Chains A and B, each alone.
Chain A
Amino acid sequence: MQNAKDTFYEMLRGRLAALNPGRTIVLRGVVRPGVLVGENELVSTAELPDCFRLRWTQVVCDPDGALATLALQCEIDYETAGTAFNGGMDRGRALSAMDAELQAAVNVAPLSAIKNNYAGLASGAAVKPMGTSIWWEQVVFGKTEIKDERLARTATVMVMSYEETGEL
């Protein structure tokens, strides 16, 4: 399960960074692409604007078949106050730009990627490609929410994966 989550994040980060290299965040003193997984960061980063924040909210396991199939629900939160130079009057356009980037990153074929095992990174080892892939459905956009001066949205993507033998 963890490998599927990690692979989806890496895929999404790479595609979003390619689409808009200028969408970056500064987190603990380092500039990185504007996408993060909330459960992998300090709690204080939860409301960071102008970036995509992934949350894994639901897991459904289908044990039938040679390999169990997992369906993981990924909720992607993002919000923006527009640009200060424009007094925030472009926040609607800024949110639309984020919508378009997310749609392009998730919905463009292929909607699948080779699943990788990233556990070795903790000890300096290389990433290991696995025998199966992850695949995902098209992104579903939620309603626009108004959070004080910010416009926010939550989009949802269902990510599927076969659970390989011995996988955590």
Chain B
Amino acid sequence: MGDRDGMVRAADAALRSNGGGAVLLRIPGLAASGDDAEQLGLATPQFQDLLLYPTAFRRNDSVVKLLVSASAVKAVVGSLAFDSADVLFETAVGVVVDGVLYAITGSVATQAEGEPLCYSLTLRAPVR
């Protein structure tokens, strides 16, 4: 267990030294039960922005990647009772980086001895 915690801390340190920025994960609130207004697009759900730190953001032409600390993701998954990090990322509307909302198109976990160290998110920039 100690080795695993050490690897997670080492991954976090690597993220901090390669950017170490904070981003916001935007997730929709629960739908209103039996609310026709939402189903007809008349009302929109409340959104919640969750802080993820540390992260490293990389943008190269059309490829946008975000490395996110597994410990930060684990904290969010645990506090909001999501089944897994995959479900969290699938549920999210996107990631807000410097005020710009990017959609999440894929996520891959980097693991060591079965312990996630960080998540690599593939993002899609908004159409301008």
Q: Is A32 an interface residue (CB 8 A)?
A: yes
**Contacts across chains A and B counted by CB atoms under 8 Å:** 51
Closest B-chain residue to A44, C-beta based? B90
Q: Is A135 an interface residue (CB 8 A)?
A: no
Q: How far is the CA of A11 from the CA of B49 in the complex (A)?
A: 36
Closest B-chain residue to A9, C-beta based? B40
- Docked-complex contact B30 and A30, CB < 8 angstroms: yes
Which A residues from 104 to 151 make CB contacts under 8 A with B?
A: 118-119, 121-122
Which A residues from 3 to 48 make CB contacts under 8 A with B?
A: 6, 9-10, 13, 27-32, 36-37, 39-40, 42-44
Q: How far is the CA of A37 from the CA of B37 in the complex (A)?
A: 12
B12 CB to nearest A CB, Å: 28
Number of residues in A with C-beta < 8 Å to the partner?
21
Say whether chain B's binding surface is mostly helix, strand, loop, or mixed. loop
Q: How far is the CA of A37 from the CA of B28 in the complex (A)?
A: 18
- Docked-complex contact A42 and B32, CB < 8 angstroms: no
- Docked-complex contact A121 and B30, CB < 8 angstroms: no
- The size class of the interface chain B forms with chain A is 20 to 34
Which B residues from 19 to 40 make CB contacts under 8 A with A?
A: 28-34, 36-40
Q: How far is the CA of A101 from the CA of B40 in the complex (A)?
A: 22
Chain B interface residues (CB < 8 Å from chain A):
28-34, 36-43, 45, 90-91, 93, 103
> Could you pull out 22 A-B pairs where Cβ atoms are within 8 angstroms?
A9-B39, A27-B31, A28-B28, A28-B29, A28-B30, A30-B30, A30-B32, A31-B33, A32-B39, A36-B39, A40-B39, A42-B28, A42-B93, A43-B103, A44-B91, A118-B40, A118-B42, A121-B40, A121-B42, A122-B37, A122-B42, A122-B43
Known: A28-B29, A121-B42, A122-B37. 5 other contacts (CB 8 A): A29-B31, A40-B41, A42-B93, A44-B91, A121-B36
